[in-house]
C-alpha cells in the first residue's frame, strides 16, 4: 500500500512537466494525420501535421515489398501519429524513420543499397563492352 502511494505522488509531481515536454515534442516533430495508397502513382502518401505531404514506393519498405494493392490500401495511423501500420501485412513503420529515409531495419537498408550496383541497363551494358574492348577496367594508379 505504501508503494502505491509513493507512485501516485511521483506521478502527480511529474505529470505537468511530462505534459509540457510532450506538447513541445508534438509541436517540433511532424505527425501523420492520414496515410493512403495512391493507385495512380503506386505510392504510399502521408499527410503530416505541419501541412507537408510525402510519398514513397512500397517496394522500398520492409514488410510492404511485394504486397498486393488490397493489402496496401488498409493503413492505420497510430493515435499519436508517430507510426503507420498495415494490418493485413502485420507491418509497421515510424514516421520519423520514413522522413529520414529509413524504410526498415539496418539489414533491410543494406539490401536495398546493394541493389543499386546490380542494376542493369543498356547504358551500363554498352559501357562494359567499351571497357572490355579496351582491356577491362583501368588499373588504379599506384601512389607513392
Q: DSSP assignment, residue 110?
A: H
Q: Is the pLDDT of residue 71 over 90?
A: yes
Query: Whole-structure pTM over 0.85, yes or no?
Result: no
Residues 115-139 have pLDDT tens digits of 766 667 788 778 878 887 887 767 7
Q: Which residue has the higher pLDDT, 44 or 3?
A: 44
Q: In the chain, what are the domain boundaries?
A: 1-29, 31-134
- By three-state DSSP, how is residue 85 classified? strand
| Residue closest to 49 by CA, chosen among 29, 35, 64, 67 | 29
Q: Is the pLDDT of residue 23 over 90?
A: no
Q: Is the pLDDT of residue 25 over 80?
A: no
CATH architecture of 31-134: 2-Layer Sandwich (3.30)
Amino acid at each position: 500500500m505504501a508503494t502505491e502511494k509513493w507512485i501516485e505522488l511521483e506521478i502527480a509531481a511529474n505529470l505537468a512537466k511530462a505534459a509540457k515536454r510532450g506538447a513541445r515534442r508534438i509541436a517540433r516533430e511532424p505527425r501523420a494525420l492520414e496515410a493512403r495508397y495512391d493507385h495512380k502513382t503506386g505510392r504510399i502518401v502521408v499527410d503530416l501535421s505541419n501541412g507537408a505531404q510525402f510519398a514513397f514506393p512500397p517496394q522500398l519498405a520492409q514488410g510492404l515489398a511485394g504486397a498486393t494493392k488490397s493489402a496496401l490500401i488498409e493503413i492505420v495511423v497510430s493515435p499519436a501519429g508517430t507510426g503507420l501500420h498495415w494490418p493485413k501485412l502485420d507491418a509497421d513503420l515510424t514516421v520519423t524513420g520514413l522522413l529520414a529515409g529509413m524504410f526498415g531495419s539496418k539489414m533491410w537498408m543494406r539490401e536495398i543499397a546493394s541493389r543499386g550496383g546490380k542494376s542493369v541497363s543498356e547504358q551500363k551494358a554498352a559501357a562494359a563492352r567499351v571497357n572490355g574492348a579496351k582491356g577491362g577496367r583501368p588499373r588504379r594508379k599506384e601512389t607513392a
